[in-house]
Structure 1
Amino acid sequence: MAQSLVKLVSVFALSASAVGVAQAQDTKIALGMSGWTGFAPLTLADKAGIFKKNGLDVELKMIPQKDRHLALASGSIQCAATTVETHVAWNANGVPITQIFQMDKSYGADGIAVRNDVKSFADLKGKTVAVSAPGTAPYFGLAWMLSKNGMSMKDVKLVSLEPQPAAQAFVAGQNDAAMTYEPYLSTVRANPQAGKILATTLDYPMVMDTVGCDPKWLKANPKAAAALTKSYFDALEMVKAEPAKANELMGSAVKQSGEAFAKSSAYLRWQDHAANQKFFAGEIQDFMKQAAAILLEAGVIRKLPDDYSAMVDTQFIK
């Protein structure tokens, strides 16, 4: 009888395991992102099996920020990781997306590199700045910094380059300045002869990232959205519990060693459950309104959004 009971329990255990795998295979999410250090917990959730454990089959698609909304609009991705102001721009330009959790805040991980003879933003007038296309975080960051110094994008000459090639070109002697972020900003930090970092998000705190999903998909898949949110928080727990292993896994996605990745991530703060609750309680709404004004001034959006509350759904972080 005892042996039969053991066998029965074993059968049920195997069946439950099989069901779990089936659920992971059934609940598919394609999520657009980039190699930005702040998004790395998503990579960790993928590589460490956290998504699968939470019943998800997630495909992380590396898509440039300037193209991510097109993938969302076409339905090739259901969710995307990007900066808060980019969510605002997408919504304002007719691509609805609802933010469900915050990933990170930049503490010096985004910045503008300049030649050593540039002493202030005023010295950038008429200079050539390499920066990503309109609608991206670097473009917004440059617009924000210039605005805070009484200038606008019209005061500089723009060269369209993504963060990695922008940093590489700057170190190679091209352009007068470059707007970039980690891990590529560290390329500039490691080559002081090429120039210096004029300002970062320590001086201008305006880079914060969230994960958002298509509103229709979100309404149809609340359990998957909850599991996606939980997976992010589980990944942060792994970073705390097994930092060496976690850093190696996260660094591998951007061809960095665990040690190099740890140095890059020191310039940002991943946001845990408590930080998320605080952020969504009011801070995000205030920032979105400030960001929208800068986006309008920079010509990224044509009019201010009608409804900021529709851009946020807090049920998954409660």
Structure 2
Amino acid sequence: MVVLVLLCSTACTSTPTSAGRTTLGLSAWPGWFPWQVAQEQGLFQRNGIDVELKYFDSYTDSLNALSSGAIDANSQTLNDTLASVSGGAQQTIILVNDNSTGNDQVIARDGISGVADLKGKKVAVEQGTVDHYLLLLALTEAGLSQKDIELVPLATDAAAAAFVAGKVDAVGAFAPFTTTALQRAGSRAIVTSAEFPGAIPDHLVVSRAFAKNRPEAAQALVNTWFDTLEWIKQNNGQAVEIMARRGGVSTSDYRSYDAGTTIFTLRQNIDAFTPGVTPTHLNHQAGQIADFMVSTGLTPNRPSLDGLFDDRFVKAVRR
């Protein structure tokens, strides 16, 4: 009964927050698997919201689904949200799930000891997504550009498989696909997101129409997230089993991802949404990413940051 009280600390109601079902997308990333826990433990319902949790095997498909209006909300990175906004999508970020602190990696075959060694090599990555961004950051830091490598555009699962099969020299991937890639004998991560603090924050993103017209539903999603984190804290073993099963990995593999994904507390959420001039502040990081996207040709137009962040929902969570 104590756990139930904790779960209801944000908002509990016996009726839906607003008419209709809310469709929430997620794909293979450890920082988003708590949504699976929320579904299996009935935590959406306890917050009065009817949610269809839609899992996408392809992360890119989830981005396209939100941009096209096929789903109401999606789990996606800041840089991918900026790419969508640059293309004309009207989206807003209402929650920070986590920061990638090592679980995004560029993994290379034996004989490649650093990023500089990628010159002239085949590198597979899902073009235009977060690990493409990490690859470009690493190349830039090493004094190279995308023109110095042979980019092989593949969906992340296919990219990892191609690397294991020896078809490419390196791969940009995120957990749990990093586990697949590292099955290649002699392979190792030559750069990770831990080397670029704050560069890859992950979010709950909704259409601006959803945030405006269904604020009760948006609030219920945010409330559910923090209730879920509390449930995971109270029932860690069971939660890890659920999340590992969703990721298609063993519980021991899943636990190995802990250090590489830093889940944000409510306090960290509020601090991140607060305007500032360091990598921990979303407005600062978004500006840097937007400039980088244009300079490297990821997008022809600098995305507008107006309306990108909506902090009212995290601020309304009861503490």
How many residues end up aligned between the 2 structures?
297
- CA offset at residue 27 of structure 1? 4.4
The alignment status of 1:269 with 2:269, answered yes or no, reads: no
Residue among 300, 303, 310 paired with 1:302: 300
Which of 102, 109, 113 pairs up with 1:115?
109
Counterpart residue number, 1:285: 283
Equivalent residue letter for 1:193 = A
CA contact (8 A) 1:143 1:294 kept: no
Aligned equivalents of 2:274 and 2:17: distance in 1? 32
The Cα of 1:144 is off from its aligned counterpart by 1.7
Amino acid paired to 2:194 = L
Q: Which amino acid aligns with 1:203?
A: E
Map residues 101-112 of structure 1 onto 2, 5 A cutoff: 101-112=95-106
The letter of the residue matching 2:291 is A
Once the two structures are superposed, what CA deviation does each residue of 1:2-54 show, in whole Å capped at 9, x if it has no partner? Answer: xxxxxxxxxxxxxxx9x82x527944211222111111111111111111111
Q: What do the CA deviations read for 1:65-105 (whole angstroms, capped 9, x no partner)?
A: 32334322332101111111111111111011100000011
Separation (CA, whole Å) in 2 of partners of 1:219 and 1:25: 12
What is the CA–CA distance in structure 2 between the aligned matches of 1:244 and 1:61, rounded to whole Å? Answer: 24
- Alignment check: 8 A CA contact 1:131 1:179 kept: yes
In the alignment, is residue 316 of structure 1 matched against residue 313 of structure 2? yes
The answer as to whether partners of 1:128 and 1:177 remain within 8 angstroms in 2 is yes
- Which whole-Å CA distance do the structure 2 matches of 1:102 and 1:278 have between them? 10
Q: Counterpart of 1:159 in 2: which secondary structure?
A: strand
Q: Which residue of 2 aligns with 1:59?
A: 52
Q: Percent identity?
A: 30
Contact 1:24 1:52 in 2 (8 A): no
Q: 1:99 to 1:60 in 2, by over 3 A?
A: same
User: Structure 1 residue 124 and structure 2 residue 121: aligned?
Assistant: no
Say which of 191, 195, 211 aligns to 1:203. Answer: 195
1:164 Cα deviation (Å)? 2.3
Determine if the alignment matches structure 1 residue 74 to structure 2 residue 85.
Answer: no
Q: Distance in 2 between matches of 1:286 and 1:298?
A: 19
| Structure 2 unmatched ranges of 5 or more | 1-11, 276-280
TM-score where L is the length of structure 1: 0.88
Equivalent in 150, 159, 164 of residue 157 of structure 1: 150
CA distance in 1, matches of 2:141, 2:90: 29
Q: Which residue of 1 aligns with 2:3?
A: none
SS at match of 1:317: helix
Aligned-partner SS, 1:71? helix
| Partner secondary structure for residue 16 of structure 2 | helix
Determine the structure 2 residue equivalent to 1:237: 230
1:247 equivalent in alignment to 2:257: no
Report SS of the residue matched to 2:89.
coil
Find the residue that maps to 1:133 and give its secondary structure. Answer: coil
CA distance in 2, matches of 1:263, 1:212: 27
For the pair shown, the structure with the greater C-alpha radius of gyration is 1
CA RMSD in angstroms, aligned pairs only: 1.9
Structure 1 position 171, deviation (Å): 2.2
